[in-house]
Amino acid sequence: MKRILITGAAGFLGSHLSDKFIDKGYEVIGMDNLITGDMDNIAHLMPLENFSFHHHDVSNYVHVAGDLDYILHFASPASPIDYLKMPIQTLKVGSLGTHNLLGLAKAKGARMLIASTSEVYGDPLVNPQPEEYWGNVNPIGPRGVYDEAKRFQEAITMAYHTYHGLETRIIRIFNTYGPRMRVNDGRALPAFFSQAIENKDITVFGDGSQTRAFCYVDDLVEGIYRLLHSDYSLPVNIGNPDEITILQAAQEVLEIVEGTTSKIIHQGLPKDDPKVRRPDITKAKSILGWNPTVDRHDGFRRTYEYFKTKLK
């Protein structure tokens, strides 16, 4: 049985990845310091013989007994509300945490995949964003703690790959949504669904013309699984290229949430908020044979059903 360490295992993506690898017959070692993770996300896995959980901060020394085949590094605050509140922890998990885990991977001879982000592109000057685009990032702006942590994470991962010959994979994750997102995590879709379900005004920043491309979590997890088992070591975008405006996303949420009396209001645009965001997934298609399959309206409806259970 292959053994895999998944950091951030109690989080939104980490918990879905834990499910995926359990279903594939792996022994999964979950690790999370729970500053943004939720044990409810993995409660169904705790009784399983091939799942174990360690409450630990990977910014500190990481020890895992026995053999280890793979590491997925998904530990990090991942929404603006989190990394504005926890800037130091965000920088540390992207730098010290990644360094610790790369050292562990080297010692164990494990292949390591890191969760990078479309935020490495900053407020992009090209659209869609290919992996070759170097980005337009403000390193000292309010989002810099997350953007630069992820850019450093990519740099040190490639350094371990080229200098030590470590097997590494880099995924750049674009906006992802689905069940187990935190209700109050501050990102657009959780905010819209929460506000609409509770009959509060839906808050759209700016005029809502900024664009995003939303990928359902099942599609993302499949892309991660394929990338981990591929032979490609350079960054790969995984996301849904179906680009819509934030205003359109808010309107679609209103159409899905039954009986809501919410209306859309506008507030000022946050500093350095990206105006466009859309992945070029040419590499994912050609190298991984991957393409998103979940229609946005279907994905929105599944997400709505989840948020209903959390809010009512």
User: Residue 10 pLDDT > 80, yes or no?
Assistant: yes
Give the pLDDT band of residue 95 (cuts 50, 70, 90): very high
Q: Which pairs from 183-188 meet CB under 8 Å and 24+ separation?
A: 183/307, 183/310, 183/311, 184/81, 185/36, 185/78, 185/79, 185/81, 185/82, 186/79, 186/80, 186/81, 186/82, 187/79, 187/80, 188/212, 188/246, 188/249, 188/250
- CA pair distance 80, 253, nearest whole angstrom: 21
Give the mean model confidence (pLDDT) for residues 83-95: 96
- Please report, for residues 127, 135, 137, 261, 277, the alpha-carbon distance to residue 272 in angstroms, rounded to integers and kept in the order given: 17, 13, 9, 31, 13
Mean pLDDT of 31-50: 98
Between β-strands 211-213 and 243-245, what pairing exists: parallel, antiparallel or unpaired? antiparallel
Averaged pLDDT score across all residues of the chain: 96
CA atoms within 13 A on the CB side of 77: 22
> CATH for 188-209+243-277+303-311, among 1.10.3720.10, 3.10.450.40, 3.40.50.300, 3.90.25.10?
3.90.25.10
DSSP string, the chain: --EEEEETTTSHHHHHHHHHHHHTT-EEEEEE--SS--GGGGTTTTT-TTEEEEE--TTS-----S---EEEE--S--SHHHHHH-HHHHHHIIIIIHHHHHHHHHHHT-EEEEEEEGGGGBS-SSSSB-TT---B--TTSTTHHHHHHHHHHHHHHHHHHHHH---EEEEEE--EE-TT--TTS--HHHHHHHHHHTTPPEEEETTS--EEE-EEHHHHHHHHHHHHTSS--S-EEES---EEEHHHHHHHHHHHSTT----EEEEPPPTT--S---B--HHHHHHH-----S-HHHHHHHHHHHHHHHH-
Which CATH code, of 3.40.710.10, 3.40.50.300, 3.40.50.720, 3.40.50.460, is assigned to 3-178+217-240+278-293?
3.40.50.720
Please report the pLDDT score of residue 287 as a whole number.
98
- Range picked from 20-24, 76-80, 183-187 for highest mean pLDDT: 20-24
What was the pLDDT predicted at 162?
98
Predicted confidence band at 239 (pLDDT cuts at 50, 70, 90)?
very high
What is the pLDDT, as a whole number, of residue 272? 77
* pLDDT at residue 185 in the model: 87
Question: Residue 246's pLDDT is what?
Answer: 96
Residue 61 bears catalytic tag: no
What average pLDDT does the segment 135-148 reach?
95
Q: Which residue shows structure tokens 């997400």?
A: 303
The pLDDT score that the predictor gives to residue 233 is: 98
Q: Where in the chain is the domain with CATH 3.40.50.720?
A: 3-178+217-240+278-293
Name the token pair of 35. Answer: 């500053």
The pLDDT of 15-41, averaged and rounded, is 98
Question: In sequence order, what DSSP letters do the residues of 246-289 get, joined into one string?
Answer: HHHHHHHHHHHSTT----EEEEPPPTT--S---B--HHHHHHH-
**pLDDT bracket for residue 186 (50, 70, 90):** confident
- Which of 204, 311, 161, 227 shows the shortest CA–CA distance to 17? 227
Q: Quick one: pLDDT at residue 105?
A: 98
Average pLDDT over residues 29-45: 98
The string of pLDDT tens digits covering residues 281-291 is: 999 999 999 99
Of the listed 26, 121, 146, 177, which one is catalytic? Answer: 146
Mean pLDDT of the 134-159 span: 96
The answer, yes or no, to whether residue 212 has pLDDT greater than 90, is yes
CATH 3.90.25.10: which residues of the chain? 188-209+243-277+303-311
Q: Token pair of 126, please?
A: 């090209």
Question: pLDDT at residue 163 above 80?
Answer: yes
User: Mean pLDDT throughout 146-156?
Assistant: 98
- pLDDT band of residue 174 (cuts 50, 70, 90) is very high
Q: What is the pLDDT of residues 255-283, one digit of tens each?
A: 999 999 999 999 998 887 889 999 999 99
pLDDT number for residue 61: 97
Distance, in Å, from the CA atom of 253 to the CA atom of 247, rounded to the nearest integer, reads 10
Write down the pLDDT at residue 271.
80
